[in-house]
Amino acid sequence: MKLKRRLSLLPLILALCAALSACSSGAVSGTAPASSAETSVRQEAASSGSDSSGSSKTAASSETPSSKSGSAGKSSGISLKKLPAYSGSPYIAVNKNRPSFSKKELSRRTSYQKFSPLDGLGRCGKTTACIGPDLLPRTKRGPIGSVRPSGWHTVKYPRLIRDRYLYNRCHLIAYELTGQNANEKNLITGTRYLNIEGMLPFENKVTDYIRTTGNHVLYRVTPIFKDRCLVASGVEMEARSLEDKGKGISFHVYCYNVQPGITIDYRDGSSRVSGSVSDTGTSSQAAAPKKHSAAAKSSGSSDTRQTYVLNTNSRKFHRPDCSSIRRIKPANKKKVTAGRSDLIREGYEPCGICTP
């Protein structure tokens, strides 16, 4: 009798063993090893904070970002490694120049702006705004020198850079779009080339569109950091006009944070003259980590004073023959004789059209 009972339970025991085996197999296959595939921009830029003992919570490799890493560099998922190296153009189109906003993001028509918290290395993250006429600034831009973005150095190359300074405190969302001033979550260490040649033409285009139409533009800028570097390799810019479904504004670009003739160490922001180019850099007030930031020291010559036309509202300065001057309201127009770098230090930015 006992033998029969045991035999009758045998199929049940076998079935139970098979079920347990299947569960075990599913758990193993569902926990795949880390992929060696190319890292997305989100992963390239992910970095960590440190715990109270100072130990790192994130591996140095960009292919294994920590779930507790900061938001610096999170984007739509383009691959930084797949982007071509800088070859002379300040920016390139991404995703066939199509922005990667979600349907939910595109459905909203009210103005707002969002800024990511700084990550554990003090780096900025993704910034997003729905920009309408109500967000365009109506006051002059104030000083921003109190903000020291990650990787910041004050360094000059007077023979290579027109306004001498290698780095600008570069707004992710331009002041001319939303009036953000000394917001540390919106300012990165960016080269003059990135600021003026890369980002400014797109910023001006969006501003002009909003002023002309009164429509909203969905706008996102993401600084892209490699591994634990303190200076961004570049910025990803996306924008789409909402009321006309992208007919007026639609772009998706990557702007290189480079300066022709200068080699930058993105780990800490230090720099030197490239190759056989002749110039010396003057460095001061270098931000942490403490390391020399230029190849040599010398003093720069003063700017030649020239006549410029200021837009006191947008805080842009123009050449007197610039085609965009006619669009400046008389109350905001001011003619001055000054040095170019003096105007920049006062908070003005060069026009992206006439590039004074």
> Residue 1 — very low, low, confident or very high, per pLDDT cuts 50/70/90?
low
C-beta atoms surrounding 299 within 10 Å: 9
The continuous run of DSSP H or E covering 155 comes out as: strand 154-156
- Pick the residue with more confidence: 69 or 344? 344
C-beta atoms surrounding 94 within 10 Å: 22
DSSP 3-state of 82: helix
- Pick the residue with more confidence: 263 or 350? 263
Report yes or no: 315 and 289 within 8 Å, Cβ to Cβ.
no
> Residue 105 — very low, low, confident or very high, per pLDDT cuts 50/70/90?
very high
Distance CA 206, CA 303 (A): 31
Amino acid in position 264: I
Report yes or no: 180 and 223 within 8 Å, Cβ to Cβ.
no
Amino acid in position 279: D
> Residue 20 — very low, low, confident or very high, per pLDDT cuts 50/70/90?
very low
Say if strands 154-156 and 282-284 run parallel, antiparallel, or are unpaired: antiparallel
pLDDT, the chain, mean: 78
What value does the mean pLDDT take over residues 6-26?
Answer: 50
Query: How many residues are given for the chain?
Result: 356
Distance CA 356, CA 343 (A): 11
pLDDT at 42 over 60: no
pLDDT one-digit tens code per residue, 321-340:
887 888 898 888 999 988 88
pLDDT at 210 over 60: yes
> Which of 51, 82, 123, 14 shows the shortest CA–CA distance to 254?
82
What value does the mean pLDDT take over residues 248-262?
Answer: 97
What value does the mean pLDDT take over residues 34-41?
Answer: 32
pLDDT at 223 over 80: yes
The continuous run of DSSP H or E covering 131 comes out as: strand 127-131
pLDDT at 167: 97
> Residue 312 — very low, low, confident or very high, per pLDDT cuts 50/70/90?
confident
* pTM recorded for the entire structure: 0.63
Per domain, the residue ranges of the chain are 41-46+62-147+169-257, 303-356
Note the maximum CA span of the chain.
111
Distance CA 116, CA 70 (A): 9
pLDDT one-digit tens code per residue, 273-288:
987 555 556 655 444 4
Two tokens, residue 198 = 């890369």
Segments in the chain forming alpha helices (H): 2-30, 41-45, 103-107, 175-178, 192-193, 200-213, 340-345
Given the candidates 3.40.30.10, 3.40.920.10, 3.30.1330.90, 3.40.570.10, the CATH classification of the domain at 41-46+62-147+169-257 is 3.40.570.10
Nearest 5°: the CA angle 74, 78, 83 is 120
pLDDT at 34 over 50: no
Two tokens, residue 114 = 């969002």
> Residue 254 — very low, low, confident or very high, per pLDDT cuts 50/70/90?
very high
Amino acid in position 209: Y
pLDDT at 287: 43
